[in-house]
Homo-oligomer: A and B are copies of this chain.
Amino acid sequence: MTAASHVLERWQEVAPGVWRATVGQPEALSPRALLSAAGVRPRHDALAHLPSAPFPLPLGQVSAEVTSHRTVFRLPLDPEEKLLGLGLQLFTVNHRGRTRYLRVNSDPRQDTGETHAPVPFYVSTRGYGVFVDTARIVTFYGGSCVRRGEVVEVRDRNSDRQWRATPPSRWVELVLGAPGAELYVLAGPTVLDVVCRYNLFWGGGVLPPRWGLGFWHRTPSLADAQQVLAEAREYRRRDFPCDVIGLEPGWQSRSYPCTYVWSSERFPEPASLVSTLREEGFRVNLWEHPYVSPESPIYRELEPLSGSHTVWGGLVPDFTLSEVQEAYMALHQREHVSIGVAGYKIDECDGSELTRHSWMFPAHASFPSGNDGEQMRQVYGLLLQTMAAKLFRQNNRRTYGLVRASGLGASSLPFVLYTDLYDLRQFVRALCNASLCGLLFTPEVRSARSAEEWVRRLQIVCFSPLAQLNAWSSGTKPWSFPEVEDMVRHFIQLRMRLLPYFHAAFARYQAQGLPPFRAMALEWPELAEVDDQYMAGDALLVAPLFPGQTEREVVLPPGRWYDFDTGQAFAGNRRIAVAGGLERLPLFVREGGLIPLMPPLPHAPGLGAAVPLEVRHYGQQPARLLLPDDDDETSVAAPERQGSLILAVDVLADGTRCGRVEVQGVPGGTYGPVTWQFLG
């Protein structure tokens, strides 16, 4: 059991500011291995543009011990540094002094570190990052376990109120059940640099098609084609924007486990439904999970290529095998993609051990590839995302979808996380934490106990990576609370008006790794624990009011800030109180913020739509924003189509502001006349 600890001396700089040390015999299956097999490569070009920085940790103080089945990494900590990240954490932002069990789990009801998307990557407020490339569960001790010999202040609980249950250690320990792994260290110098570096190392961020940034609606599970069409058209009739209609389990002939084949009873003519919806400006997203029904056409073929255990009587395919991916993709191509389905919601790929819903293949399950259940469960979400991404890439089409499990290195994958939990405060924290690890999270709306809760939830989801009403069970609609229908319409329309702005933010995510929605910690580490407000894009600070609140405190970072609507200026670097009724979502724009707005179209515009833009500029700083205007449909836009608009504001000596539009490449004509509005 015991093993000698040795200092890690051989650090290889595998990309600018990214160093790797190999310990023991790393296992073949790891996020890095499966993502590079899927074509994900570090963006060396963009990485080179980040500030150069030396190896950020004291060499000679990073050590490891390895046995035949356990690897322990040990890294030093300063007393003051905070540790952020570790994936889609719902309860905590700063993991300093805490032990986290980073297992994929669909029921993260306690603050143990388990979540839909645990990521063995942490960012220090000192401006460096660390991750372990492993498919194993990692236990993270963020200064929460103390070795004999390490001097800690021993306090007398009888008399000392400063006594704490967890004495602070100056060491991180990372533990996994494998005979080795690769440890990566990322330089900053800033927290934001670390995270951009992380995202660029993993291929940069995803750039969704514009329609992905519109409003999403999911219909009831057993709705048939007529009901689906009726629900979609009701959006148009009531003048609520909507871009995507999501179909839930009932679209399949059988599900739980899945056939991946349409229900001939509820959907006799899927192709015509999909094309009718498309003509009316809706894309179709299909729910599914990875467990294959005995009635699925691919069951026989996949049976020998599946795990030792089943889930709900369905096969657990070994998606690390190319034959499995081929069979799966072929069926999806034939049944869905070929008729125009735009993406998937990949559910149930996480697993739970809680009493009332204990389900998943066990950790000791074995797979034909030789991997075991622990490894497969940890990376199942990644495998499914890369496979779906590949399917659409092969069709030269873009996609954007939902997934319930993810992990290390997912920034370039076109999927957004969600959960069945429903605490709104946790939702906002999760949205913040996701931005520290290359993840996207939607605080989806399902139902509400009151009109107030309904409005507050919709305000927040409209300022998230995926604005979705998921009514599969509740059957709710945006207008379900008539007394606030206009208010809800206002915010969904505001989402649409901001679509160019959000699209530009995602373009920076793709090109520079800059998260489109982000925790305050990313730019202001001193605000690490502020988790009830966040940045949407570069310019907007969102400080939502939660149900029950008519007033809240907002932390304004340094610099001048402006009210989004009125342009009223606020001195930053302080806490202010904001009050407001249900109609109010406090939005502040930073000095020099540039925000392009389009009219509240019923759905995202396509090439040549020539949509007029109103561009708002706040304050006295010059500004510049790149707004993609490519064809937005093909997976890699044809070169002659890789166009963008560059919106810029110059400030003259006398303070006059002038806006101009530059063109880059050949714009697709999505946007038309630009009018400028100068506030603040």
Contact = CB atoms under 8 A, between A and B. Distances in A.
Interface string A279-311: 000000000000001100000000100111111
Given A154-B293, A249-B158, A364-B72, A148 B315 contact: yes
Contacts of A153: 313
Interface stretch (A251-259, A420-428, A429-437, A546-554): A251-259
B69 A175 contact: no
A157 B146 CA distance: 49
Interface in A202-234: 221-222
A63 interface: no
A255 B355 contact: no
Nearest to A148: B310
A678 interface: no
B166 A111 contact: no
Contacts of A263: 158
Interface string A2-39: 10000000000000000000000000000000000000
Contacts of A364: 70, 72, 139, 173, 175
Given A158-B255, A353-B99, A167 B312 contact: yes
A361 B145 contact: yes
Contacts of A574: none
Contact of A111 (B252, B354, B366): B354
A110 interface: yes
B255 A370 contact: no
A250 interface: yes
A140 to B, nearest CB: 11
A312 B92 CA distance: 23
A334 interface: no
Nearest to A150: B310
A606 B155 CA distance: 43
Given A2-B370, A313-B167, A372-B1, A145 B355 contact: no
A359 interface: yes
A147 B366 CA distance: 10
B308 A256 contact: no
B358 A146 contact: no
Contacts of A1: 366, 370-372
A256 B163 contact: yes
Contact of A354 (B112, B361, B362): B112
Contacts of A69: 68-69, 177
Contacts of A358: 97-99, 144, 165-166
A310 B152 contact: yes
A262 interface: no
Given A154-B312, A155-B256, A307 B148 contact: yes
Contact of A353 (B68, B101, B156, B357): B101
Nearest to A97: B358
Contacts of A309: 145-148
Interface in A57-81: 68-70, 72
A158 B303 CA distance: 23
Contacts of A235: none
Contact of A363 (B147, B175, B222): B175
Nearest to A375: B1
A145 B362 contact: yes
A449 interface: no
A222 B158 contact: yes
Interface in A177-205: 177
Given A156-B255, A256-B157, A92 B355 contact: yes
A165 B359 contact: yes
A91 interface: yes
A418 interface: no
Interface in A496-529: none
Contacts of A362: 99, 139, 141, 145, 173, 175
Contacts of A145: 309, 361-362, 365
16 contacts: A2-B370, A97-B358, A99-B358, A99-B362, A110-B110, A110-B354, A112-B354, A145-B362, A146-B309, A147-B310, A148-B306, A157-B255, A158-B250, A158-B254, A163-B256, A175-B364
Q: Which 8 A-B pairs have the closest CB atoms?
A: A157-B256, A154-B313, A165-B357, A111-B355, A2-B366, A69-B69, A1-B372, A156-B254
Given A154-B294, A158-B250, A177-B177, 4 more contacts: A68-B68, A145-B365, A154-B257, A166-B359
